[in-house]
Amino acid sequence: MVRILITICLLIIALSTAAETSITLNQGANITVTAPAAFDNLAFDLGGQIWLQRAGQKSSTPLTAAGAFNQRPVFSRDGRFIAYESMQAGYRQIFVTEVKNGATRQITFGPFDHLSPAWSTAATSQSQLALSSNRSGSFDIWEVNVDNLELRQLTFTAADEHEPAWNDDGSRLAYVAAAANGSSLYILTPLIAYQLQRRILMKIL
């Protein structure tokens, strides 16, 4: 078994003073790292678990329990929550864990895969998560409210759409659409997409 040594270096800039934090991992190669805007904590996936590196601590602690395969963590805008993918009964679902007390909730359900959670960066909608799901057949971009679990489909093409990412104020959402002739990058405005969807439904009804 090949042992891989990985060092993650973070450059934290505060009050014109730069400080470098080095974290050494003794195993794993495919790692996702996330940090809130304040850089107080750091989270990453390793060995099927989500790990939390708190400011001032020398060792990382597991945020998730062993037994399920968890990956792709992402901090909420305010740093209070971490959303991530978790393999459940053969399907990847989205879970959210509160950093302070470890309280965990399952956000998506059903015999579908839900991938690549991305917290909204809008100051007024921090409970919104964008994600990629094949609930409608192919992978499309969806939005879920983590408070009431309401799902809203944002894209409707035959291509597989994934890797959603918000702009700074949460008004626009970028994603990758992969088709037989290659991949393309798209940007949409979720509110406009939702209003257009409602107008179409009203015409149909």
The answer to the question of residue 25 being in a domain is no
Q: 19-23, 133-137, 186-190 — which is least confidently predicted?
A: 19-23
User: Domain total for the chain?
Assistant: 1
- Structural domain range at position 169: 31-204
The answer to the question of residue 10 being in a domain is no
Distance CA 86, CA 68 (A): 7
The answer to the question of residue 4 being in a domain is no
- For the record, the structure tokens of 193 come out as 């997409």
The answer to the question of residue 127 being in a domain is yes
Mean pLDDT value of segment 126-130: 89
The answer to the question of residue 23 being in a domain is no
Alpha-carbon distances of 72 from 20, 75, 137, 141, 157, rounded to whole Å: 24, 10, 23, 16, 25
Closest C-alpha among 100, 45, 93 to residue 73:
45
Predicted TM-score (pTM) of the model is 0.81
The structure tokens 């909608």 sit at 125
Distance CA 195, CA 173 (A): 15
> pLDDT class for 197, splitting at 50, 70, 90?
very low
| Per-residue pLDDT, 8 | 42
The answer to the question of residue 3 being in a domain is no
| Per-residue pLDDT, 193 | 53
pLDDT of 199 over the 60 cut: no
Mean pLDDT value of segment 67-79: 92
The answer to the question of residue 71 being in a domain is yes
> pLDDT class for 141, splitting at 50, 70, 90?
very high
> What CATH number has the domain bearing residue 49?
2.120.10.30
The answer to the question of residue 167 being in a domain is yes
